[in-house]
Structure 1
Amino acid sequence: MEFRFRKGRDIDLGLAPASTPVVLRAVRSVGLVARDFPGVSFDLRVGEGDLVRRGQVLCVDRLHPDIAFVAGAAGRISQTRHGARRRIEGIEIATEGDEESQFSVEPARTDDAALRALLLRSGAWVAFRSRPFGRVPAPADRPSAIFVTATDTNPLAPVPAVVLAPKLDSFRRGAEVLQRLTDGPVFICQAPGPPLAEPGERLRVARFSGPHPAGLAGTHIHHLWPVSSQRSVWQIGYQDVAAIGDLLAVGRITAERTLSVAGPGVSEPALVRAPLGSDLRDLLGEKRSDKDTSATRLISGSILSGREARFLGRQDLQVTVLKKREEAVPARALLWGLLARLPRAAIGATLPSEGFERVFPLDLLPTPLMRALAVGDVETTERLGGLELLEEDLALLSWRCPSGSDYGALLRHVLDGLDEERAA
C-alpha cells in the first residue's frame, strides 16, 4: 500500500541531522512527568532519597495498578512534585550508577498473558497510545489494529530509517510480537523504500509520502483503519517497538532513545542517544551549573506540537532549540513568532475554508471542526470525526489560523470530557 499526499505543509527551520554519527549524552537527571499520560493518576512506589535501578517501578496507575512507570536511569529520587489536591505531577531522578532491573522473559516468548504481564511491569506498555482519547490502554484492552509509526515529517525530526539501521533485527522482533496483542492487523507505516519488516498476513507495510502531516499516526489511521466510539486502535513509535524486541531478547529494558537536537538555537544539529525523560539542558552537551541561564529555549518535541519543558516528553524524539529573546514572552507566542516569517494569514483576517483544507489531508471538514472546538461543542466535534484525532493532528491548523487558537489543547479538553463522561 502506498499513499502520496499533496495537502499539508513542510516547515523549513534549517538543517536537520540526517546521517550524522550518533552522540552519546550522559545526563545528570531524568524526569517522569504526569502530563505525558492523560487520564493517569500516579500512585508512588518510591520516596525522596531512595536509590532506584534503571527499570525499577517508580509508580503505578491508581486505576490500573498493573500499569507500571519505571525509572529511565539508575539514581536517587531527588524530588516528587505535587499539584492540586496533592496529585503527583512529576518525579525527578538524579542519575547515579548503572544498576538495572532484570526481567524473566522466557514465559513471554510463547504465552500471550505472560507477554502482557512483561510489558506492563517493565514499563514498555506505556509506550502505547489508544485512539480514541489518546490514553495508555487498559491492561485487558485488545485493539482492532496496531499502528507502528516509522516515518516522521515533523520539522527537524530524525530520519527513522537511519535510526533503525543498526536496530532492524530488534525492530522486526518487536513488530512480530505486536501481532499477539491484537486479532487485527499490525501496520508498519514508513516512508517509501525497502520494507522495514517482512510483510505477512497480519503484518502489513504501508508507505506514506508528502508534506507534513504525512508522517503522523493520525494520518495513517484515518486512511487505513478509521476509529470510532465502537472501534479502537493503538499506536506506538518505531523506537519503542525496537525496545520491545530488545526486552524479549535480553530481559532488560532499553531506556535510551536516539533524538534529534536541532533548531535556530544550535550551530550544528546532532543525533543524540540519551535516556527517556532526560533533562533537555544536558542534551545540548554544554557545561553548565544549576545557576546557568541559557541563551536558548528548549522545546520537547516539534515546534508545531511540542512544549517548552525541562524534561523530554515520553513520546518525543526531538528537541527543538530556539534562540531566547531578551524580553519575556510566553513559549507559545515565541513559537508562532518564529513561524510568522512563513506564509500564513495576516492576524485578524478571515481565512476561507480552502486555506485550512490545503494543510489538512484527512477527509474531515476542518473549518466546522475548528468552530466546534472553539465553542466547546462536544456533540458536533464527535460527529465531525474528532474522536479520530489527537493534539498533533491539529497543529498545522493552529499555525494556519489567524485567531491564535490552540486547537490541540481545545481537542484535549473535549476528549477528556468525553472519556470521563463515558467512564461515569
Structure 2
Amino acid sequence: MSKDIQIKKGLNINLVGAAELETVKAVLSNVYTLNLNDFHGVTPKMFLKQGAEVKAGEPLFYNKNIADMLFVSPVSGELVEIERGARRRILSVKILADKEQSFDVSPTIDIESATKQDVKSVWLKGGCWPFIKQRPYDIIADPDTTPKAIFISAYITSPLAADLNYVLKGKEVELQAAVTALTKLTPGKVHVSIGKSEDSPLASLKGVELHKISGPHPSGLVGTQINKLDPINKGELVWTVSPQDLVIMGEFLLTGKFNAERFIALVGSCVKAPKYYTTKIGAEIATFLYASGVTEENIRVINGDVLTGSKSKPEGSLGFYNNTVSVIPEGDDYEFFGWNKPIFNKISNTRALTFSWMQPKKKYELTTNTNGEHRAFVVTGHYEEVFPMDIYPMQLLKACMVKDLDEMEHLGLYEVAPEDFSLTEFICISKQPHQQIIREGLDYLQQEIG
C-alpha cells in the first residue's frame, strides 16, 4: 500500500537538451580519479604508495576518523598520482587503468539471514559504505550510529536529470538485495519514493514503505520528502541512499565485486545529441563529452545537474555520486539594459518584466549568467513560494551567516542539506550563495555541537 504526497510549492526549470532514451558505451578512460571533495569531512589516510598496482575494489585509503570506512579503486591498474595541496592534504587519487580489468573479490553473505553487523562489515570492507549519507550535516553516515529511518528517492525533478526508470530497468534483483540489507540497519522504516504516475523498478520492492510523490521541483529531493514524512529533531539521524548507488551495493552483496559502472546522462543545450552513456565512477568526462557533439566552444561543463553540480573541465573526472553531466553556454557576456526591458527567454518566479509564467511548459536555453551582481540580502518573500519545507529559509540562511547556533537549531538546520537551497539560490535577487552558506552553517554546527 503506497501513500500519496502532493507538493504544491516549487518551480520546475524546463531546459533544452534532455537526454534521449538511448544508451551508448563510452570510450574507455585511460585514467580514473577519486576527488576527495566528493567526500565532505573525510580525512584520508593512504594504504598504498604511488606506483602500486591495484585491483578494482581494492582499498586505496581509509577515513582517519573512522578507520573501518574504506574507499576502493573503481578499476584495476597503477596508482599513478596522489595529488596533494596545502599542508600535504590529499586532493585526488588517480589510477591508470589496465586494458583487462581484474577484481578484488570479497566473500558474499546470505542477505536474508545476515545480521546488522554482517551487513555493515561487508559494505565497509567493500568500499560501499560511502554511498550512505547522513542527515544532519549531509556527510557519509557513521556506521557506529543507528538511524531512525532510511530514505531513497527515485522521483527526480532536478533540471535535465537522468531518468531513473530508464537507468534502473532490469536492476530489480540488485535493488532488492540492497534494500533487504538496509532494512537490517534501522529499527524504523525504509522509505522509497517514486513518481505518482511512473512505472518505477522500485515500485515492486519488498520490505519498504512506498510513497508516490507529485509536484514541482524540489519535490524530488530527499530532504523535501524527509520533511513531509518523518522530520528530523535534535538527536535523531536519518540515512539516505541514491537509487543508482543501490545497484552497486546490491551487486556487491550478490557477487562480491565492486562494479563501479554508471549510466550517465549527458545533457544540456550545448550537446547536439544528448543521450546516456555507460562508464565508470571517476572516468574522464572527455571520453563521452565530445561523442554527442558539443555545439559551442564557450561552454560550462557541470559535474551534476545545473542547480547542484560543480564546475568542471572537459578533461575533469566524473564525480563519485553523479549520474548527470550538464553542458550549457558560459554566461560571461554583458547584456545591455538587461534589467530594463521585457524578458521572454528566461525563467522567473516573478512577473516583473518576465513572461515565463504564461508558458509553464516552454523549454529554455539558459546560460550561467547570474543576471546581476552580489548585493544586499533583502527580504522579498520569494523564497517561501518555492521552498516546500516547514522551515523559514531566509531566517535560517541569516542565522548561518552570523553563526547563531541557537537560531540554527530552532530554525531546522538539522533537516537540510545544501541541495535543498539550490532553488532558492536560483531565484535569489540578491545573488547570495545559499548552498555555500548552508554548507558552512552545517560544518559550524557539527564542529560546535557534534
Q: Deviations over 1:76-113 (max 9, x none)?
A: 22211112221112111122231111010136663322
CA distance in 2, matches of 1:409, 1:133: 13
Q: Deviations over 1:273-313 (max 9, x none)?
A: 111122222231549xxxxx965331111111111132222
Question: What SS is found at the alignment partner of 1:273?
Answer: strand
Aligned length: 408
Change (3 A) 1:10 1:48: same
Poorly superposed stretches of 4+, deviation over 4 Å:
324-328, 344-353
Matches within 5 A, 1:90-239: 90-97=92-99, 98-106=101-109, 110-112=113-115, 113-192=117-196, 193-194=198-199, 196-198=202-204, 203-239=208-244
Equivalent residue, structure 2, for 1:240: 245
Aligned counterpart for 2:10 among listed residues 8, 11, 15:
8
Change (3 A) 1:263 1:80: same
Aligned counterpart for 1:58 among listed residues 57, 60, 67:
60
Q: Deviations over 1:340-375 (max 9, x none)?
A: 932256846986643111111111112212322333
Report the CA distance between 1:249 and its aligned residue.
Answer: 1.5
Question: What SS is found at the alignment partner of 2:407?
Answer: helix
Question: What SS is found at the alignment partner of 1:17?
Answer: coil
Matches within 5 A, 1:242-391: 242-286=247-291, 295-309=298-312, 310-324=316-330, 341-343=346-348, 347=372, 353-391=380-418
Query: Which shifted more, 19-28 or 358-367?
Result: 19-28
Equivalent residue, structure 2, for 1:334: none
- Maintained 8 Å contact 2:135/2:415: yes
Query: Which shifted more, 363-372 or 270-279?
Result: 363-372
- Maintained 8 Å contact 1:107/1:114: no
- Maintained 8 Å contact 2:298/2:329: yes
Question: What SS is found at the alignment partner of 2:382?
Answer: helix
Aligned counterpart for 1:31 among listed residues 21, 27, 33:
33
Q: TM-score, normalised by structure 1?
A: 0.89
* One-letter amino acid matched to 1:101: D
Which runs of 5 or more structure 1 residues have no equivalent in the other structure? 288-292, 329-338
| Aligned-pair identity (%) | 28
Report the CA distance between 1:210 and its aligned residue.
Answer: 1.4
Are residue 409 (structure 1) and residue 436 (structure 2) matched? yes
Report the CA distance between 1:6 and its aligned residue.
Answer: 2.1
Equivalent residue, structure 1, for 2:49: 47
Q: TM-score, normalised by structure 2?
A: 0.85
Report the CA distance between 1:199 and its aligned residue.
Answer: 5.9
- Maintained 8 Å contact 1:54/1:100: yes
Alignment root-mean-square deviation, CA? 2.5
Equivalent residue, structure 2, for 1:75: 77
- Maintained 8 Å contact 1:153/1:211: yes
Change (3 A) 1:150 1:326: closer
Change (3 A) 1:236 1:387: same
Report the CA distance between 1:239 and its aligned residue.
Answer: 1.0
- Structure with bigger gyration radius: 2
CA distance in 2, matches of 1:377, 1:395: 22
Which runs of 5 or more structure 2 residues have no equivalent in the other structure? 335-343, 351-370
- Maintained 8 Å contact 1:353/1:367: no
Question: What SS is found at the alignment partner of 2:34?
Answer: strand
CA distance in 1, matches of 2:376, 2:404: 23
Query: Which shifted more, 17-26 or 3-12?
Result: 17-26
